Structure formats: C-alpha cells, structure tokens
Chains A and B, each alone.
Chain A
C-alpha cells in the first residue's frame, strides 16, 4: 500500500467516507425511523493515476469512486459493466496487474500505479482477441451485459490454470493442471450469466484452451 502515502489521506478520513455508504444501506431496512447520523466530513478529491489498456490515465476523483465507476463514468470505458455494484455478479471483472478482480469492490484510489486491462484492451470489433472471437463463434452470450466480464474472467482462468493455481475442484494438487470442463466451470462461477449461455461459454473456452495447449 506504499502508493497511498502521497494521497494526503488519513485512515480516519477513509473510514468516515465509507460510513456514508453504510448509512445508505441502513436506510433501506424496514426499521422505520432512524436516528440522525453523525455529521459526515465531506470527502475530498484526490489525484489518481494508473494505466488502462496501456495508456496512462490521470484523474481527480472523489475518494468514494470505485475503480468500476472511474472506468465507466470518468474514462467513458463502458465495456466494463455494473450488474450489482456489490461483488456478487462478476460483470465488472477487469484484469489488474495480471489478476482478475471485481472492479466494483475496490476504490480507484487503491490502484495508484496499477496496470488495468479492460475488455476494450483485449480486442476491438475489427481485431478480436481469440477469446472474443470464440465467444462470437460459439454464441457464448445473449444480451451481452455480462459478456465483457465473462471474457476477462475466461482469459484469466486459462492463465491461472496454465500457472498451476489450484481450485476447489482440482483433483491432484501436485499434478499438471489441465483446463477440464469442470475446472473451467468452477473458476468461472463468479460470473453470472442470467441469459444462461454457460454451455456455450464452456465450449468457447475449450476451443481457446485447446488452441493454446
């Protein structure tokens, strides 16, 4: 967390800012009347710098801004989707320093100096990434809203398997890791597709995994 030193923010300031969010959650319980809240300090803006798809991005952001909203609202990179904003659906999956994360679950200020790859960084309509092309070929999507997250996860999953990182369903922790159907499905299970394209996504991933194997 060395990168946060330059922000001029105290731990106390961060906690106060997040308390504002907690109050909103409490406001939706059926408790009826709520006590007046403690006065909440106004969070300031801080400079944030990271790279997105190889390009440097410099922003001045409200400390409460998630990485997801920094991408969607401040950089107009709307390929990364907001499905729940609570880390429950995976639509906001991006790749940060080579690891996939739910971008709604981290604040933009946590990513000083990080390298962020979004769906827009994998390929373009004219020049699709092999995983994007496989999704098109196998119809691994329907409404398309979870799709960028599925694809960012799919690319990362194959890399995790290649790197020998085990999962809940890995039989042999010491053997060679293989992109089996169950291995891929287990690792993709944080990405919900309500249209139910799972069977086709598995086929798209198998094709890419085979090509890479």
Chain B
C-alpha cells in the first residue's frame, strides 16, 4: 500500500479498539518474569557456552602484545577470540570504529578479546588472566578544547550543515532586546536496564542471533557486512528488549563476538556485556556546546534567531545536533543555524532518545525563558506571540497539524500557571524555595516503510507477524489493536509475534517512527487479508464491512471462520506528497520544583506534559512513554553526566552507581494530557509517536523552574547543587 494523499475518513475514525486505553497484551508475561530476553533463551540452542568480553584499557594506540597462555590453560576455557589474531571486522551501519579485530585501538573499552568457557565464572576468571600490553598514543578527549577549531558537520546530502535565512547579523544588531547565551550538555549514557546481550549459533554457514536489538532488518544487513557473509544467512530474533533508547539501534560487540566465539568454540555462545563495559564499549549521547542568540522587538516578536552547536565524535562524523528544533518552533525572519563537529577519540557517540532535540531544547527553551525575563514578558505569552504560520526555517513548507498554542494554554490552565511569581526567588515554604517553569517541545513525526503478515486461523484467531520490536513502547498492544480493528475481531483473538527477521521487515523502533509506521504496515497487511477473505467468500471489491468476527456486504453476512486458514502480507510506503509538509509533534511541559534554601537540594514536586501527537493509539502505554521520557529529561537536567577523564580518554563513571539516573524518590506523580488531534498527513491511522516528544522540553522546564525558585541561572547541565550553592539567596 502506498500512502500518497491525506488519509481522509477511514475505519479508524469510528474505531472501537484503536485509541482506547488498553492494558498491554504482554503484561502478564513481563510481570511474572516469563517474557524471555536475549540472554535467557536456554531453550533455543543446546550446549550453550559462556562468552566474556575484555575491553581495551587504553583509549587510543596499539596492542603490542597479548599473552593468552594462562587464560587458555584456565579451567573450563574452550576458546579465546583475540583481537591481535583476528582481522578487523567490517563496519556495520553507524559503526564509527570496527567492533573487533586488529591491534589498533580506537576507543576505551573497545572489545579486544572474548573468552569462551563452560561457565560464566570460568570465563570471567580466565578473562582476568589475559595479559595485554599497549603502546598508548595521544588522543583528543576534550570537547571545549577542540570545539573552536571544529569544522561544520556535513548534512545527509554531504553539504556543510549551516543554514541561513534573511540577514541574521543585521537584524540581531538592530534588535532592541537581545539575548546571547552559551549552554553546555554533558555526555550521557542510555543505561537501559538490560545490557546488550546475544546468543549466537551457527548451523553450517547460517547464523542465528537471539539478541536485543531495536532494528532487526538493519541488524541483519549489518551482520552481513561485519562478517562478510550473505545477510540472507543471518537470522536475528528479539521478541523482548530490556530497553534501548537508541543504544540498541545498531549491531554492537556482543553480537559480533558471540558470532565469532561460537564459530571458534564450535558451539552456541551466549554473551552479555558486563555493565561496567556498556558506557565506553557501546554508544552514548555526545556532549554539546550550544550558543543561542535571539533578537526581539519590545513586544516580544523575534526578528533574529541563531542557534549554533558543537559536538565531537570519532572520525569527526555523526554528532549531536542541538539545533534541530530551532527551524521549527518560533517565527523570525532572520535566522542562522550551524552545526560543528570536532574529531574526538572518546567512545562512539550516536543516537540516544531524540538525538539532537533532547539537548537542543535544554538550550533553546532555557534561552526563551531568559529572553522572556529580559522582555518582562510571561514566557508562555512570548512563545504564543512567536507562533509561526509556516515552518519558520523552510517558509515554503506547511505544518501538517500543529496545536502548540493549545498545548501551552491548556497546560497553563491545568498547572495553575497563574500562581507563578514572575519575580524569581520570592516564593518560600519553610526551608524550600519554590519555582515553576515551562518549556515547549517539538519532535518530528516521521514514518518509515513497514510490513507485516496477518493470518486468520480456522478458529477465527488472528496472528500478526512482523520484525517490528517492542522496546517497552507498547508495540505488541497497538499492533494487536490495529489488527483487531481492521478485521473486526475482539482483541483477545489477536496474537502478535515480533522481532524475528524471518517475518516481513518493519520500520523497527527508532526516531519516534515505530508506532505510526508499524501500525500502518499492519493495516496494509490487514487490507490485503480482507481482500483475500472477501474473494474467497465471494464478496465484491473492498466494500465489505468486517465486524464482530463477521464479513458483511450487500445483504450477505458470513462468519470469518468460513474462510478457513488464510494469510496475507502487506506493507506501507509513504509518498512524496509528504515533503510539502513538516510533520511534527508538539508539547508544553511544566514543572514545579522546590530548592532547599540552605543545602541547594532540588525536589521536583509536579510535572505536566500536554501533548499534540495526532491520534493516540493506546492512551495507557502512550502516557507511559511520555512520563518515562519526562523522567529521563529530569535526569538530564538534574544529575546525568558521563564524567570524561581528559587525560586517559574515557568515561569514568561507567556503571549504575557512578552514573546517576532518577530513582523513585526523585519522581513525583506525573500528569500527561493528550489533545484529541488527528494528523491525516502522517498515516492512515493519523497517529504520531510520543516517546521522544516526551524528552523534548521537560529538562528545560526543570531548569527554568530552578531559576524561578532561586534567581540563579545555570547554563551548564546537569544543574547539580555545586554549581549554585554559593549563590543561593540569603535566607530571610
């Protein structure tokens, strides 16, 4: 099915299942510990051995020697795969360094060996007996030092990533009110609860990987490139994924080494990355430096806006672009965005939940707050005053559907914004300074080609198979809802099998496109199945109504079971008409915070998000996506930071004790409101994703609330108390 025009009215506009709050169909498995994750598949291959990965102890240089003799002689050891004895593997999609092989070290904790033994304990102990010596080379590990000389990054089309509209410099110089601020955001790690894990098994030249991966089709193709084998000989299976957040978009060393080790050991091998390797061995969100300049008229109208961004990565490629939302959010005729990237020898930076926008909002939306104060305007009013008609950075483009102003107004009403004191540092409750903050949020609502197979069984049960993944997002349930709606059967009659590369390729889970794309793909397959059922039972054309397990048209009415077992595949692709639109999702985020007047400790007291993201397929799980993203945003604002050792070039706090993420005590009750909007440009279901929208803005709302509470503006995230303790207002 090709989606080539706005959706128009369709069966989802009178839906009975889609759009209704629905408990997850995988819930009983997940809550009883019976959903099998990658490392837990004892049943899939007999005689599994244990692999244990050793990471490089230097960030850059060469392995001069690796003594494996003691490790090889250690009890239980079956095989050792060692980098100096292995040709570097090929690079899969978005691998900035080879995941294994050779003597060259590209980053700290890059995999250099894998010990295979009969037990986990034996493999771990033997790994500790490998003696590696290195010739350390100098590396570039300091973003602030490298940034001033950094070149412009390249866009997807290979052009320098700098865009201008009008004359920013002149308009900024002429603006009566100016703001110029420099913000920094640190490196962050996904810290998903399940570390990367894979069981690999070879049968002849066919490789099966039971793994934890968000993008099955990409993974299959990448494994082909990495190992130099035909991707058709690779099968990936990831039915349950213990969190990804972008960290499992691409093949990583667990999968590669499980495959190499299984070949060496001549039996299946299971590997989980030990937690202390995850931050440096895999990918992370890059640190950024951002400069935002805004010039405005006295009435708040923006006349000039510039957002520049610096980040760094291996090979000087694939940075974190904090400017992404800026061409979309606010009006202003004279504009500049520029994205620079330095070459660093730190571990690989790559996508983490809302790459670009998540950190971009931390700068832009704090800057808007600062500008509002300079203007003496309410920050909500400032945003509303700069609501654009057309996409500000691409004035030839229309918004497909945009209700940001409604989000802001409705949020202000619900949150009690009118009770906020405009003068910072003036609301006190006992020892606590109280503040409120607001931020807007924008994240694209993209779609990707996606397919599925839908099968009707003789008993009337419906099975959906697709390589789509559920990384906690709720894919199982929204796919079941879509199939139930499309074929007119009860939800209980639908089973969903995900994550197997033998199924039709889907969009996968990334970039907030999964929900919109995969449900559209399932709908496309359901349309094919409806057609087949209709033909088999003698109904003409596509006019039949599917309802209550029956098919009905022109006075004829039959049970679906009369069609017998029947199956159809379908996929959706998206036509060029979309390029005339900016399809986005919008939110207004609010936060109330208390700051201890003596110790500077912060306590988030309330959070609210009002979201505009088209049809919400399952309000229960969509709300969870948003509150979870708000938690991660609160972490980015208040505590999360990979500490860079700029001498040795690694992230020091590479475990869950040193890298602090929000815990229960940090997070109060959270409110989420979805506007009842529909976007008929996005897909037949008129639905957009929310999982990344939720992290775009709340961090800035937290920062703005801290400013409102204390009168102290900290522009270096995270806002830990050491950065403002000495400036807290004198207690009165």
Q: Which of A's residues lie within 8 Å of B, judged by CB?
A: 20-21, 23-24, 26-34, 36-37, 40, 42-43, 62, 64-65, 69, 72-73, 76-86, 88-89, 91, 118-120, 122-126, 128, 132-133, 135-137, 139, 141-148, 151, 181-182, 184-186, 188-203
Contacts and interface: CB of A to CB of B under 8 A. Distances in A.
Contacts of A69: 120-121
B192 A194 contact: yes
Contacts of B130: 27
A142 B34 contact: no
B94 interface: no
Given A20-B125, A78-B42, A139 B663 contact: no
Given A24-B124, A186-B665, A197-B627, A81 B193 contact: yes
Contacts of A185: 664-665, 667
B57 A139 contact: no
B663 A189 contact: yes
A199 B668 contact: yes
Given A120-B32, A143-B242, A31 B471 contact: no
Looking at chain B's contact residues, the main secondary structure is loop
A145 B656 CA distance: 15
Contacts of A144: 26, 29-31, 35, 240, 242, 472
Contacts of A190: 663
Nearest to A134: B31
B399 interface: no
Contacts of B625: 142
19 contacts: A24-B127, A24-B128, A27-B128, A32-B134, A79-B34, A81-B37, A83-B193, A86-B656, A123-B31, A124-B34, A144-B30, A145-B242, A148-B33, A190-B663, A194-B190, A195-B193, A196-B630, A196-B632, A199-B669
Interface residues of B, number: 87
B362 to A, nearest CB: 17
B84 to A, nearest CB: 16
Contact of A125 (B32, B125, B192): B32
The 4 closest A-B pairs by CB, nearest first: A79-B33, A196-B631, A145-B242, A143-B472
A185 B631 CA distance: 14
Most buried by B among A27, A89, A142, A203: A142
A21 B124 contact: yes
A143 B241 contact: yes
B656 A199 contact: no
Contacts of A40: 125
B473 interface: yes
Contacts of B657: 86, 88
Interface string B621-650: 101110111111000000000000100101
A204 B32 CA distance: 15
Looking at chain A's contact residues, the main secondary structure is loop
B136 interface: yes
Interface in B173-227: 190-195
A189 B656 contact: no
A203 B277 CA distance: 34
B125 A30 contact: no
Nearest to A119: B33
Interface in B3-38: 23-24, 26-37
B275 A85 contact: yes
A195 B133 contact: no
Contacts of B134: 32-33
Contacts of A196: 627-632, 662, 667
